[in-house]
Structure 1
């Protein structure tokens, strides 16, 4: 069964924060930071969840007003048991539909080959690197997506 992709609601806060901790460990956002994200949900800050009766994944987008061309994918995570089942792809598809006609930027750890593969499959291209950005000196890869004309 494919999960439903829907906007997050306040009741999802604990599940999203818990999943973030599982997926990102020491790089996870704090519960307070997640609380702030949920408080700022609006037309320009979108949190989507993949719902299978429980949160199987989430995605956070910063979508400025339409006169600003660039959207930022701030965070995406999929529960370990749900990886390679299409959940990440469903979240990305839903997010990119919201970004029609705009450029989307994201950053990802250079060693996160599965995420880089997912993004590349959607047409994201590496445009830059931030050397030594992450703990332990790992580079951040900056990627860009532009909808095909």
Structure 2
């Protein structure tokens, strides 16, 4: 069964906090951070979830007007036991459908080869690195996607 991809609801917040902690450990957003994200949900901030009766993945997008034609993928995660099942691809497809004609940027840990492969499969290209970006000193790879309408 493929999960439904839908807009996050306020009652998803505890599941998102738990999933974020599971996926990102010390780099996870706090409960307060997630509350702030939900308060900002509007036309320019989108949270999508993959729902199989429980939240098994999510993506958070920052859309214009912050920078007119640039969208940022702020966060994407899939539950560890659901990885390599296509959920990440579903989430990325749903996210990119909202981004036609815009540039999309994201950052990913240099060591996260599976995520970098997923993004490359969607046409993202590496454009730069941020040395020592993460709390453990690991570099972030900045990737860009652009498709014209």
TM-score category, normalised to shorter length: over 0.9
Aligned counterpart, 1:36: 36
Unaligned 5+ residue runs, structure 1?
Answer: none
Residue 134 of structure 1 and its aligned partner are, at CA, apart by: 1.2
Contact 2:124 2:145 in 1 (8 A): yes
State the match for 1:11 in structure 2.
11
- Mean CA deviation greater in 88-97 or 126-135: 126-135
Aligned equivalent of 2:48: 48
TM-score scaled by structure 2?
0.97
Structure 1 residues 135 and 68: alpha-carbon distance in aligned structure 2, compared to 1, 3 A threshold:
same
Secondary structure in structure 2 of the residue aligned to 1:129: strand
Q: Name segments (4+ residues, structure 1) moved above 2 Å.
A: none
Shift of 1:80: 0.7
If the length of structure 1 is used for normalisation, what is the TM-score?
0.97
Q: What per-residue deviation string (whole Å, max 9, x for no partner) do you get for residues 12-63 of structure 1? A: 0000111000000000000000011011110100000000000010000000
Task: From the superposition, tell whether residues 15 and 103 of structure 1 become closer, same or farther in structure 2 (CA, over 3 Å).
Answer: same
2:62 — aligned with what? 62
Partner of 2:78: 78
Q: Shift in Å at residue 148 of structure 1? A: 5.1
Name stretches of at least 5 consecutive residues in structure 2 with no aligned partner. Answer: none
1:85-139 per-position Cα deviation (integer Å, ceiling 9, x unaligned)? 0000000000000000000000011001111011000000000001111123211
